[in-house]
Amino acid sequence: MLGPRLHSAYLYGSVARGDAVPGRSDLDLVAVLTGPPSEADRAAADRAARDLEARFGFLSGAAVVLGSLAEVTAPDQRYGWQPFLRELSFRIAGTDLRPGFPRTRPSPELAAGFHADTPAVLARARVVLAGPDPPPGKARAAARLLVRAAFAVVMAADGVWATVLEEQAAIVARAVPAWAGPVALAVSLGRAADPDPGAVLGLLTTFWPEVEAAMSHAFEPSRPEL
């Protein structure tokens, strides 16, 4: 659907890790384009995602995230796109960019890079979830992002690493006991086929401000990369 605009495509998330659960797990893809994504590209990516959902009924959802070759390879993506693709993704089409990206360890810089757009994403999610008939996928994605944001605070401080929601929540609960309840609820909502949007909205109203405040303190630069 993207045709010659597609430079390369990558699979990430539970399917890439091999721990996907039919009926509960999404299919997550990244498409790196030869130029900046256009509205036509976004429409094509959305059609591809909807087509995957229709063809494979065991998926709880599908998403195609778009990036451009210039953006992904830019120096300011040293702690953003580049470690995301190298460490968390598998190439499924096109020319593999990952071998050219440097190795990365857990650090405040990595946590900050991974979550640079999290406040904006969750702000948009609050608007959608407060409206009529919010899609289950939006509630589920927001709950999962809350878990990952809380984990990023601990990763920045302790240098720990995990990619599975339950593992991330367990690490958060040990490091910040006051967050154990909210993060466990976020995991439950993030794994539900049809999560309660009101419950997710409640976490965005009460739990997210705490996490966001902690992020601003935790994401300070650490010692240089070895």
Per-residue model confidence as pLDDT tens digits over 38-88 = 999 999 999 999 999 999 999 988 999 999 999 999 999 999 999 999 999
Q: Residues 96-103: contacts with CB within 8 Å, 24+ apart? A: 96/8, 97/8, 97/32, 97/72, 97/73, 100/73, 102/78, 102/225
Do the beta carbons of residue 26 and residue 61 sit within 8 Å? yes
Do the beta carbons of residue 29 and residue 10 sit within 8 Å? yes
> Is the pLDDT confidence value at 226 over 60?
no
For position 225, what pLDDT does the model report?
45
Q: What percent of the chain has pLDDT over 70?
A: 97
Q: What percent of the chain has pLDDT over 90?
A: 83
Q: What mean pLDDT, rounded, does the chain reach?
A: 93
Rounded Cα gap, residues 27 and 148, in angstroms: 18
Name the more confident of 224 and 81.
Answer: 81
CB-based burial of residue 4 (10 Å sphere; 0-12 exposed, 13-18 middle, 19+ buried)? exposed
Average pLDDT over residues 27-40: 96
Rounded Cα gap, residues 157 and 214, in angstroms: 11
Average pLDDT over residues 198-223: 88
For position 221, what pLDDT does the model report?
58
For position 224, what pLDDT does the model report?
46
Rounded Cα gap, residues 156 and 168, in angstroms: 13
CATH T-level fold of 3-100: Beta Polymerase; domain 2 (3.30.460)
pLDDT digits (tens, 9 = 90+) for 93-146: 999 999 999 999 999 999 999 999 999 999 999 999 999 999 888 899 999 999
For position 223, what pLDDT does the model report?
46
pLDDT band at 217 (very low <50, low <70, confident <90, very high): confident
